[in-house]
A and B are shown apart, each in its own frame.
Chain A
Amino acid sequence: MSHILRVNPIRCDAHGVCADLLPELIELDPWGYPVIESDRMPDALLPHARRAVAACPTLALLLERERRRAGA
């Protein structure tokens, strides 16, 4: 089962914890907001991703099971 990582940009306040905990996938933009390099999550990184998600102070980082995309 594959997972995807995404940020709720409305919640995100640029604390930057995620980039510290998951530098393999997350970089910060010039204003400190996370840029997710690839939303596809290698299984090896899953524990680290879970830790980053749990550490986000605004609960803006989301790890979701891949769902079928549909609609407008």
Chain B
Amino acid sequence: MGKAGRHPVSGQREGDAVSRRPVPAPEQLPRLIPADGPLNFARHIDRYGPVPFRGYGDPRDWRRGVTDMLITTVERSGLTGRGGAGFPAGKKMRSVADRQGRRSGFFGSPAGSVVVANGVESEPASGKDAVLLNRAPHLVLDGIQLAAEAVGAPEAYLCVASEDERLTQRLAAAVSERERAGLNQVPVEVMPVYGSYVASEESALVNYLNEGPALPVFVPPRPFERGVRGRPTLVNNVETLAHIALIARYGPTWFAAIGTPDAPGSALVTIGGCVQRPGVYEIPLGMRMGDLIRLAGGLAERAQAILAGGYFGGWMALPDAMDAPVSGPALRKLGAGLGSGIIVVLPESACGLAETARVVRYLGTQSAGQCGPCVNGVPAIADVLEHITWKRADERSIRWASRLLPLVEGRGACHFPNGPVAMARSALRVFGGDLRYHQRHGPCPGVRHRPVLPVPQAARPPGEQETARGGGRPPVVLGTK
């Protein structure tokens, strides 16, 4: 298939992209979210210039060694996925590119691979993807183009939650604006995704794009092996793609100039709970938790614990957690995580057990309803947590809880049930004092506290999960204190 231009374009280096950029690389934060208001197309071009394509010609003519360069650059930057799992972004791109190379092989494949940008953001406590897509949509769209070129994809999708119709329209308008300007090498379709919490899991998105319901499927084969219409598919969080757009321009050394060796670069975090100014912030990875809280205006009242990593992370006790570096690897070592960048600060006046029980109950309603251990196990965890919280934290219930957690962990087709397990496990560890109080006296005064962790109102009951396409996500309520 590939005729002209199949030879490695070895002359192109980072320098070429750099020479095209009108504004020097930002020395400090913010990198992703512009401080001076949303960047429309004209201002984006003004600031960043055109997409720094590597210029390998038609992506269907992909040959190994030709588009390798951007992938190598991303690998060298150390960027990890910002959707939650934290998988190395370059390695993921390479696995798709390799697949695509193998499939097209010597004879070429007419189809090519597919790029899916995931901006569905169904974590109730997260707001960073929506902020990014509203403030710097063209950075994400640049990232999609560059990733598509690198993995040999002649088409791409940008998936967003269907509830935000205005965002969908704005993004569709942004895409056609770029097309008119000839900035898009491959067409991008903005896809509103209907569905529950699990709709944004990568195999669920692929299934949805394959005209199925937005529900996770049994893997492997994973999307990079067999994804949209059976083709190798790169599914990346939108923030990951925005970082790729910057790395392609300014290089891996610039990217890793902030952050830590095991977690380079910056990340968007959503901080909530009892801080003065909850919201989305861009931080260098490895920043101390205490500094992040100060960035968010400081504590609004006395705090007892932090939930790091959202509903797939874990609880950390304060004040110890104040010194913890905010990065995936560091927080995982401390029994929590960063997930998609969610930090919630729990006030002393609330009850961590009650908060956990409430969220696990909600998560139980959000299972896709496909796997027995998840369908039965997550509500069973909620049952025992509610018993411990509201009735009595007797030895028997605590023993049952610790037996139950490993029975649910890792037993779904997707990672969904591992979230409530991690939350419950860390709650039983961190809130040991509360556990003893509940054991002796029954419910503590904190159980009547206003909910701190956000849970969508009117979460659908388990019976309605099959109709994941019909429902749509309930409005998100951010509880501040």
Chain A residues within 8 Å of B, Cβ to Cβ = 8-14, 29-33, 35, 70-72
Q: Check B87 for interface membership: any CB of A closer than 8 A.
A: yes
Q: Check B173 for interface membership: any CB of A closer than 8 A.
A: no
B225 cross-chain contacts in A, Cβ below 8 A = 71
Q: Is the CB of A29 within 8 A of B224?
A: no
Q: Is the CB of B407 within 8 A of A72?
A: no
Partner of A8 from B92, B373, B413 at Cβ < 8 Å: B413
User: Given A71-B92, A72-B87, A72-B95, A33–B218 Cβ distance below 8 Å?
Assistant: no
Chain B contacts with A in 138-184, Cβ cutoff 8 A: none
Nearest CB in chain A: distance from B345 CB, A: 31
Q: Is the CB of B218 within 8 A of A35?
A: no
B374 cross-chain contacts in A, Cβ below 8 A = 9
Chain B contacts with A in 365-401, Cβ cutoff 8 A: 370-374, 376-377, 380
Q: Is the CB of B370 within 8 A of A10?
A: yes
User: Given A9-B218, A10-B218, A35-B411, A72–B373 Cβ distance below 8 Å?
Assistant: no
* Cα of A9 to Cα of B222 in the assembled complex, Å: 16
* Cα of A30 to Cα of B407 in the assembled complex, Å: 9
Q: How large is the interface on B (under 10, 10 to 19, 20 to 34, 35 or more residues)?
A: 20 to 34
Q: Is the CB of B372 within 8 A of A14?
A: yes
* Cα of A13 to Cα of B225 in the assembled complex, Å: 27
A9 cross-chain contacts in B, Cβ below 8 A = 218, 370-374, 411-413
Chain B contacts with A in 68-106, Cβ cutoff 8 A: 81, 85, 87, 91-92, 95
User: Which residue from chain B places its CB closest to the CB of A13 in the assembled complex?
Assistant: B372
Q: Check B217 for interface membership: any CB of A closer than 8 A.
A: yes
Q: Is the CB of A8 within 8 A of B218?
A: yes
B373 cross-chain contacts in A, Cβ below 8 A = 9, 29, 31, 33
Q: Which of A14, A33, A71, A72 has the most chain B CB within a 10 Å cutoff?
A: A72
